[in-house]
Each structure stands twice: as structure tokens, then as C-alpha cells.
Amino acid sequence: MAKKDGNTAKELKEKLFNKKKNAYLRMNDAEIKEMDKFCEGYKQFLGTAKTEREAVSFMEKEAEKSGFVPFEKGKTYNAGDKVYYVNREKAIILAVIGTEPIENGVNIVAAHIDSPRLDMKQNPLFEKDEIGYFDTHYYGGIKKYQWVTVPLSLHGVIVKADGSKITVNIGEDENDPIFCVSDLLPHLASAQMKRPATEVVKGEDLNIIVGSRPFKDDEASEAVKLNLMMILNEKYGITESDFLSAELEAVPAFGVRDLGFDRSLVGGYGQDDRVCAYPEFMAILGAKTPRRTAVCVLTDKEEIGSDGNTGLNSAYMKYFIADLGAMQGVKCRDVLSKSKCLSADVNAAFDPTYPDVFEKNNASVLNGGVCVTKYTGSRGKSGTSDASAEFVGEIRSLLDKNGVIWQTGELGKVDNGGGGTVAMYVANLNVDTIDVGVPVMSMHAPFEITAKADIWAAFRAFEAFIND
């Protein structure tokens, strides 16, 4: 047997090669128990908070219970103080003041709480051949054919002419009615099935069935629509023009479930990116007085490009950090320039049924731990923040020091597509930023799959970063 310095090839490989190992082979029973407990909390959150507004409202309540108070600009806070700021009910920032001066920079964790879905148009209600519909405009990158024949619930707000606001949540309680987009029966779908998948179901075909019972009057036209408006008027006190100033989102009405005989996976809607938002949120809730001020941002609009005043491409996080800095007489730019950020977003988990789109050596896998991604983007790293080797090195040693199970992963083969996250918007503020998140299978589908071991590892990573 060939040897080098007394080592066999097996021993040398052990020493020199990068080894990948399933998380379950690296956790002891006590840790697996903790993981399961943590994921029960996650499932609860995921089933309750299906929209950005609902996530903010959940987090605001939980944060208050944990001693967070609304941030007041101009007030001085001391080490250990916990504050939060809500942006237009759709994004929330939480911070725990650290012992070090803010001029040393802050540790930011950022995730998004919006998910792909069907949004109602401004004039949604129409009747066609005596069936009542809501017209939709889909939100985010979806495979449209996946959203037909799926039970849907309606969430959001309606602002009435007098300025009052109604919160809508219908289809989640088992006694509520639900809604649905129809699809063609296979017997009559031969022409439809020949269309390319992008056109099997077209954007304008995503009409949600909302009723079929006409108002009892032989003379009236649009009797189904009239009956529906009467029901809505009775329930919410609205007229049709109130839809003009509403945000109504249709999301899958089903709940969150353990997936698999061994219950190792979580199946549910909206895991991109609430599977990162929840661990990040729990990490800041549990923060002891950190050395560096910890800032947790849960943002909106990532799925449509992060623009708008609740997206992370807007200035709201920068303004918040400016206000934190001003408290100690430090300029915003000086705080940001020394800050660090874990941009917590999901990555594509390797799917053994569709191996061709992945480059296996650089793909994340279910049960591989939290995924650290140096760069995202597409077509030659376009549209990304490419973290420096130095910062990757720093995060790598932090995770190892804290026994966090982690892996690396790129979103698919080069030139096979790609994607972006909020990382570049934070990095553009001169913050050291890297993507760290949970691998997801069937991303952007109405029902997404994650692994409990990876969710737990994400929490451990954010916890280590915040308390570093």
C-alpha cells in the first residue's frame, strides 16, 4: 500500500478532502430533540403568518412579550435594550443594543416575509356565464400551472372611502369557505397540453371562483355578482369601489405538515423565506446583551425585486440605522461601513428527480445544514453581492467555532438560470454581506419542502452571529 509520511490514502483523504456529512450523523439525541421542538414553533408560525402583514403582526406581538418596545427616535438606549420599528405593517426591524459603541458597526440579519401568491386586481369582481370570479395578477415568480385546483384563502386589507380599514382573513378556519382556480379536464385538454408549460395556464386564466348563486330576480343581469356584493356588504360593509383601495392576496388554504414517515421534513406554503425569517426572529428574541448591536430586518417585496418603500432596496433600514447612530452621535455611513450582514434567504435544495439542472459538487442538499452562499446572481454573477474571501472566512470560522452544521450551495448550474436575494441591497450600503439560508425543494410552489435539521442549523447560525 502506498503511503506518505506513514499515512494511507484513506487517512490522507480524511485529512485533506472537504467532507460532506448528513446532519443526522452529526447531531446527538438531545440536539435532535431540541431541533424537533424548535420546528414545532416554526410550523405554528408558518401556518399562522401567510402574508407579510400577518408575519409582522405575529412578530410584533411576540417581540412585545419578550420585552421589545417601539423605537423612539431621539431617545437614548443602553446595552441590552430591545426595540422594534414597524414599516407600514409590512416590514419590521428589531434591534438589541450592544455593549460596544455603535461606531464599531452592527450585526444585521435580514430575511423577507413576502412570498409568491395571487394578488387581486383593483377591479377584481366579475361575473362570467353566471359564475362569480376575482381577477388576479400573480406576485413573484411562479409556475402558473401549479396554482390551479389548489384550495385558496384570502388575506389582506380593504381601505374604505372613509379611510377605515378592514382586515380580511377568510379560508383558514375549517368552517370558512375557500376559493379556487379551475383547470380543464384531461378529456378536453389535448390542445392545452400541447402549449409550452409557460402557457398551459396563462396569467389571465388565473381567475378565482368566488361564487355561483344568483340574486333572486329574473330581470337583473349580473345577479351572481350582485348577490356576492350583498354578502360582502353585509360582512365587511364595503361596496365594489372599496376594492380599488384594497390589498387582497390569495394563498394556499392548507396547513403546515410534517412530511415523510420519519417526520424529517416540513411541507407548507411560503417557506421562501419565512423558513429563514423565523429562525432569525427567534435568534434576536433570545439575544443576551450582545457585544455588537444586533439588528434583525424582516422585509417585504423581495419576490418582486425589493423595490418600493417596504422593500430592502428602499431607505427604511438605512434610516433606522441612522437613527441608532445619531443616538451616540455617529454618522450612518460610519456605522454601515463597519457593519456585517447575514442575508438570510433560501437556496435551491438538490432534487434527485431533476439532477440535470444542478452541479452536484456545488449544490445544497436537504439535511446538509444551513447553506452559506458566497454569491448568487445569473449570467456570470450578474445581480449579486459576491462576498469577499475574508468575510466568508470569518463566517466560516464563526460557524465552526459554534458547532453549526453548514454547507455551501449555488443555485443551479452556471447559465441554467439563477436568482437574487436582498444581499446586494445591503452590501451596496458598504456592509460586509453574505447569503446564509435554508435549502428548499419545490421553491415558489404552493407547497414547499424543507428539512428540520437545516431549519435548526439556520437558527444556530443566526444565534451565533448575533451573540458573537
Q: Which residues bind Mn ion (CB under 5 A)?
A: 272-273, 345
Given the complex with Mn ion, which of 56 and 330 has the nearer CB atom?
56
> Smallest distance, Å, CB 445 to Mn ion?
11
Do the Cβ atoms of 320 and 294 come closer than 8 Å?
no
**Residue 210 or 277: which CB sits closer to Mn ion?**
277
Q: Which is nearer to Mn ion, 142 or 259 (CB)?
A: 142
Compare residues 325 and 418 and give the one whose CB is closer to Mn ion.
418
Distance in Å, CB of 9 to Mn ion, minimum: 42
Cβ closest to Mn ion, residue 80 vs residue 308: 308
Task: Kindly give, in sequence order, each residue whose CB lies less than 8 Å from that of residue 240, ignoring residues fewer than 6 positions away.
Answer: 125, 229
10 Å Cβ neighbour count for 115? 24
In whole angstroms, the minimum distance from the beta carbon of 346 to Mn ion comes to 5
Least Cβ distance, residue 282 to Mn ion (angstroms): 18
Of 54 and 242, which has the nearer Cβ to Mn ion? 54
Minimum distance between the CB of residue 33 and Mn ion, rounded to whole angstroms? 29
80 vs 140, beta carbon nearer Mn ion: 140
Q: Which is nearer to Mn ion, 108 or 287 (CB)?
A: 108
Using CB positions, name the residue nearest to Mn ion.
Answer: 273
Name the minimum Å distance from CB 455 to Mn ion.
15
Q: Give least dist CB 423 to Mn ion, A.
A: 11
Residues 6+ apart with CB under 8 A from 136: 118, 119, 120, 121, 124, 206, 207, 208, 250
Smallest separation, CB 276 to Mn ion (Å): 8
Sign of CA pseudo-dihedral 288, 292, 293, 294: negative
Beta carbon nearer to Mn ion, 207 or 385: 385
Q: Which is nearer to Mn ion, 96 or 443 (CB)?
A: 443
Q: Tell me the closest approach of the beta carbon of residue 345 to Mn ion, in angstroms.
A: 4
In whole angstroms, the minimum distance from the beta carbon of 444 to Mn ion comes to 6
Buried b (16+ CB within 10 A) or exposed e, 127-161: beeeebbbbbeebbebebbebbebebbbbbbbebe
